[in-house]
A and B are shown apart, each in its own frame.
Chain A
Amino acid sequence: MTPPESDPEEVSTSPAPLAAQAPERAESRLDGLRRLTRMRMFWPLAILALVLLFNLIFNPHFFSVTIRDDHLYGALIDILNRASSMMIIAMGLTLVIATHGIDISVGAVVAISGAAAAALIGGELVLSGGTGMTDVTQAPLPLVIAGALGLSLIFGMWNGALVAFFGMQPIIATLILLVMGRGVAQLITNGQIITIYYSPYYIIGNGFFLGLPFSLYIVAVVAAVLLLLTRKTALGLFIEAIGINPTASRLAGVRARTIIFSAYAVCGLCAGIAGLIVSSNVKSADGNNAGLLFELDAILAVVLGGTPLTGGKFTLVGSMIGALIIQSLTTTIYSVGVPPQVTLVVKAVVVFVVSILQSERMRNLVGLKDRRRGTR
């Protein structure tokens, strides 16, 4: 699995990040600050802190968290809960972007996954007693979840196969699914919005466990699995090697195709998990509008988190912070009273600005060429 030939490639890509990740070594005060700003996590965290601080000024109670019915309540918990689906998608997308790819079909997969779950549950509203409703489902919950996730995984593998084995450009391969996926979701829901009347399913997106939203535990599990896979095995380095130089990594013995294929498959699966959370949260599945424009948010989260769109070095934690930044920003826009339509424009402008800042030309202009890596 891990041929020794791949070592030279890993070594050649690691010196710069090593220096950036271990700032404690230099004790000089003057150097300290510069080292701090060079840390991978510094800028994402700084932006997040800035957005939260802005909220605190407008709303002094922003950080207050109260306990009601054994659940934690507050704006921060709300942001965490709402950002959960995006955090999961962003992590999956990070792996794809790290291989110098892109997946713009995540929103469509979110819709497919939700549609599949809703179709499996099916059923009509059955009123019981005065106001309550009876849980109606055609399939047991594990089967519903397995079915939806299995379908998402298949679509992820479809993307992966097109890119890795047929050599299609990632943007085109996933663009096909971006548009076709909505058709597929419509096909599953028969063109209608399916409402779910099955309360165990609601737990995924609305439930609480030990005072915290249940969705956060899903995020934690996904993050733990992906971090273990990429940071405790050589897989992470292989992915970075492919993103930085596909040819060199192949010559070094990295099985690029299998890894790229897996990255898209995992991304599809992550989008599927997010689809469950989204559909559970709104208790329905809408093939047309579920996960609409999620791909922009996901790309934005990854980029804000510090993973360059050109591939290579990636950070899963950064992407999670990126998703939190976006959700905080959205909440801020709502709470300040700016029309929510502005959000899309703001996000588009942020993508423009961030990708310009990341470009080689801009770094040359500002003289930051030594920052991070200087490939290409």
Chain B
Amino acid sequence: MTAPQPVVPRRPFHMNLTNLPLAVTIALFVAMFGAGSVAFTGFFSLQTFLNFFVDNAFLAITAIGMTFVIISGGIDLSVGSVIALSTMVSAALVEQHGWSPAVVIPLVLVMGAALGLGMGLVIQFFDIQPFIVTLAGMFLARGLCYLISIESIAITSDFYTDISTLRLPFLFETAISFNVIVALAVLLGAIYLAHYTRFGRTVYAMGGNEQSAILMGLPVPRTKVLVYTLNGFCSALAGVTFTFYMMSGNPLHAQGMELDAIAAAVIGGTLLTGGFGTVIGTMFGVLINGTIQTLITFQGSLSSWWTKIVIGLLLLIFCLLQRAFERRSRRS
């Protein structure tokens, strides 16, 4: 609805049908936020809304990278462990080896991109299903975490503390954290990349039909590798912001976040079969995730594992919705 969609004018009818999930998503978000506001005093405030971003900036960043992968027709299961690895590498280098954050952060970003590049090359060159390659990548990154340390490493560096506690004033005496700025920058960059560049168009085209994209002369192999590189970079960036958020490196960080990222993209209207989706939709998917977490926190008596169950169920419902839309659009 609100998404800028200058590209993908391919099948207007199909697009309307697949846009419906996005409309459903926004409606769901509004409904959930409304329900929370009615049920709990203090829920309805700008700060609560902003906290969705503050508490989920890392998820937004990695989900945006995931959106590109899914639109291109692939999947990446390694994001959670790459985030964990990023926190571990940051914590170990800064705390145990006394490196400057100015060196560590770029290094971590390069490491994430390199991991993504490696997986992308294996997927493209050997033509192996993405899920198996990224599943191996998931365990590799998790294993590397344990190699660095089995224990959690707390971060006490001044730089990290400063960034972590930094609150930028926003409207009406509310505040946002540095992570939100990063997430919004990534969002804007992703919208530009998806809709105003050749790379973005190629991603959509190869997700729609890889054979046609190749026959059209689009650089499919290169783009496929780049998509996974981009996602690796996004995961590492999410890892950096996650380090700011948690102030520690832990091999158990971000377990199962791949599902959250996939769920955010799918709930936001991205087709799991590839070829259709928007970054804005993903953002709403992340917001819904945040709303569920906040609702469960406000409710008080429900335990945190309910979040996982609810997200799983939502993902399930939206997947089934997608199947229903696909079948109907194929029939017509």
Contact = CB atoms under 8 A, between A and B. Distances in A.
Contacts of B140: 344-345, 348-349, 352
20 contacts: A168-B323, A169-B272, A171-B77, A176-B259, A176-B315, A179-B308, A179-B312, A184-B309, A191-B305, A295-B135, A299-B132, A309-B129, A341-B143, A341-B150, A343-B143, A344-B140, A345-B144, A346-B143, A352-B136, A355-B132
A23 B8 CA distance: 56
A182 B77 contact: no
A166 B320 contact: yes
Contacts of A183: 305-306, 308-309, 312
B313 A180 contact: yes
Nearest to B118: A352
A306 to B, nearest CB: 16
Interface in B258-273: 258-259, 262, 272-273
A187 B147 contact: no
A302 to B, nearest CB: 11
B319 interface: yes
Nearest to B131: A171
Q: Which 9 A-B pairs have the closest CB atoms?
A: A344-B143, A180-B312, A345-B143, A348-B140, A341-B146, A359-B126, A183-B308, A351-B136, A348-B139
A167 interface: yes
Contacts of A175: 77, 258-259, 262
Give the bracket for the number of chain B residues in contact with chain A.
35 or more
Contacts of A171: 75, 77, 131
Contacts of A343: 143
A356 B135 contact: no
Interface in A20-34: none
B206 to A, nearest CB: 17
A287 B312 CA distance: 17
A360 interface: yes
Nearest to B147: A341
Contacts of A342: 143, 147
Interface in A168-195: 168-169, 171-173, 175-180, 182-184, 186-187, 191
Contacts of B93: none
A26 to B, nearest CB: 32
Contacts of A344: 139-140, 142-143, 146
Given A293-B142, A310-B129, 10 more contacts: A104-B135, A168-B320, A172-B315, A176-B316, A186-B305, A191-B305, A309-B129, A341-B150, A344-B140, A355-B136
Contacts of A250: none
Contact of A180 (B142, B146, B309): B309
B126 to A, nearest CB: 4
B218 interface: no
B128 interface: yes
A94 B146 CA distance: 29
Nearest to B143: A344
A37 B203 CA distance: 43
A140 to B, nearest CB: 30
B127 interface: yes
A82 to B, nearest CB: 20
Nearest to A349: B140
Nearest to A295: B135
A366 B332 CA distance: 47
Contact of A347 (B132, B139, B144, B320): B139
Contacts of A104: 135
B315 to A, nearest CB: 6
Given A168-B319, A171-B131, A182-B308, A191 B136 contact: no
B303 A348 contact: no
Interface residues of A, number: 46
A143 interface: no
Interface string A295-330: 110010000000001100000000000000000000
B137 interface: yes
Contacts of B303: 186, 191
A226 B150 CA distance: 39
Question: Which of B75, B122, B142, B143 gathers most chain A CB within 10 Å?
Answer: B143
A361 interface: yes
Contacts of A102: 131-132
Interface in B299-317: 303, 305-306, 308-309, 311-313, 315-316
Nearest to A356: B126
Interface in B173-197: none
A180 B323 contact: no
Nearest to A357: B126
A294 to B, nearest CB: 12
Contacts of B133: 352, 355
Nearest to B312: A180
B256 interface: yes
B172 interface: no
Nearest to B303: A191
B128 A359 contact: yes
Given A341-B147, A344-B139, A351 B256 contact: no
A9 to B, nearest CB: 24
A102 B134 CA distance: 14
Contacts of A184: 309
A362 interface: yes
Given A341-B143, A355-B133, A362 B312 contact: no
Nearest to A350: B136
Contacts of B146: 341, 344
Nearest to B273: A169
Contacts of B150: 341
B274 to A, nearest CB: 11
Contact of B256 (A182, A191, A309): A182
Nearest to A176: B312
Contacts of A168: 319-320, 323
B203 to A, nearest CB: 19
B306 A351 contact: no
A352 B303 CA distance: 37
